[in-house]
Amino acid sequence: MFQSIFSMLDNVVSTMQTLLYVDVIQPFLFKVGWMDYDEDTFDALYWVIVGVLEVLVMYAILRPLEALRPAEKWRDRKGVRVDALYTWIVKLGFLNLFFFFTFQPLFDSFQGWLRLHDISNIELDNLWPGVTSQPIVAFLIYLIVLDFVGYWYHRMEHRIGIWWELHAVHHSQQKMSLWSDDRNHLLDNIMQAGVFATVALVIGVPPSQFVVLVAVTNLMQSVQHANIRVHFGWLGERLLVSPAFHRRHHAIGYGHEGTAYGCNFGVLLPWWDMMFRSVSWNRELEPTGIRDQLAVGDVPGRDYGNGFISQHWLAFKRIAQRIASRRATRAPGSDSAAV
């Protein structure tokens, strides 16, 4: 049954891919003399279609819920517009296209090196023949492994200072909505895509399942960030990351502070937070954002930028300031330790 669902979805997307490519994309490539990219563009188009379908499903389900059961009521949605831009950039596959054309040769070389040295990929679906080879079981195994990697990737984003300055673009949103999931520095997105593609390659995730894994993960993370007052109940909260659970991660004073540099880092599953003691079950509704965005007396809060360009530029400025600060503390005669 699970395999038939995979096949049905794949057939729908593949049909749309072929029609769009033959009628629109290929004639354009021929006209501008880019037929050398013929096959690569056809493959990339699959991701673009999946992304558009993701956005349509996400909006159709979550926007009405945001209107019916908002966690916060806003006078306007002005601060949310830039997040919609992030979403379309990510979902339309622009990053995937960049990643594909830039890093695919590296992955091909890596695979060739593995074959040359007779090193096999870790085929997780062959751990227990007859059981783990079942599509639904293999899918769940891949999901759990990638979610575990996602937990530690996310936690390191908060722990490593320079990395945090990139991730701070995501946390600086004070109006969380269905669009907020994709609000992230593009450099961090590229790094993340590289890490997860590498892990998926090593553990042997089939391409068709990888597409579904990415789509499911993206949709669930959009649910988590949506401005909806939803709680999954005692058991549900311990099975899947809910909007209430993840909102705590974005709360000022909780999401990036303390000895663990925050709480509730889980991507889809709260299990890792429970296992590694970074969980908070507090459901109290708190303002979201970063503490230094708040004004202190007459001193204005830190500016993280309101637009797409300014948010990226200011992140690089913060990184430069952090590096300069470290160099200053390490200079001869300094008694301070680098942070």
Separation in Å, CA 59 to CA 55, 138, 177, 222: 6, 29, 11, 9
Compute, in degrees rounded to 10, the torsion defined by CA atoms 210, 214, 216, 220. Answer: 150
- Cα–Cα distance between 28 and 21 in angstroms, integer? 9
**pLDDT(338) > 50:** no
Mean pLDDT, residues 82-105:
75
Domain boundaries, the chain: 2-330
Mean predicted lDDT score pLDDT of the chain: 85
pLDDT score for 259: 64
Question: What length does the chain have?
Answer: 339
HSE at residue 126, side-chain half, CA atoms within 13 A, is: 8
- Cα–Cα distance between 62 and 195 in angstroms, integer? 29
Q: 179 or 193: whose pLDDT is higher?
A: 179
**pLDDT(107) > 80:** no
pLDDT score for 98: 64
**DSSP code per residue over 249-309:** HHBTTTTT-TTTTSS---SS-THHHHHTT----------BS-GGGS-BTTBPPPP--SSHH
Phi and psi torsions of 329, nearest 5°: -75, -20
pLDDT score for 12: 85
pLDDT score for 336: 39
**pLDDT(313) > 90:** yes
Taking the mean position of all CA atoms in its chain, how far away is CA 222? 10
pLDDT score for 59: 94
Number of CB atoms found within 10 A of residue 84's CB:
18
pLDDT score for 131: 59
Compute, in degrees rounded to 10, the torsion defined by CA atoms 59, 303, 315, 241. Answer: -40
The predicted model scores a pTM of 0.85
Q: 130 or 174: whose pLDDT is higher?
A: 174
Compute, in degrees rounded to 10, the torsion defined by CA atoms 211, 212, 218, 219. Answer: 150
Tokens of residue 231, six digits: 């709680």
Taking the mean position of all CA atoms in its chain, how far away is CA 98? 16
Q: Are 183 and 170 in contact (CB under 8 A)?
A: yes
Cβ-Cβ contacts under 8 Å for 168 (sequence gap 6 or more) = 290, 304, 315, 318
What single DSSP character describes residue 336? P
pLDDT tens for residues 226-272? 999 988 999 999 999 999 999 999 999 887 776 667 899 999 999 99
Q: pLDDT tier at 320 (50, 70, 90 boundaries)?
A: very high
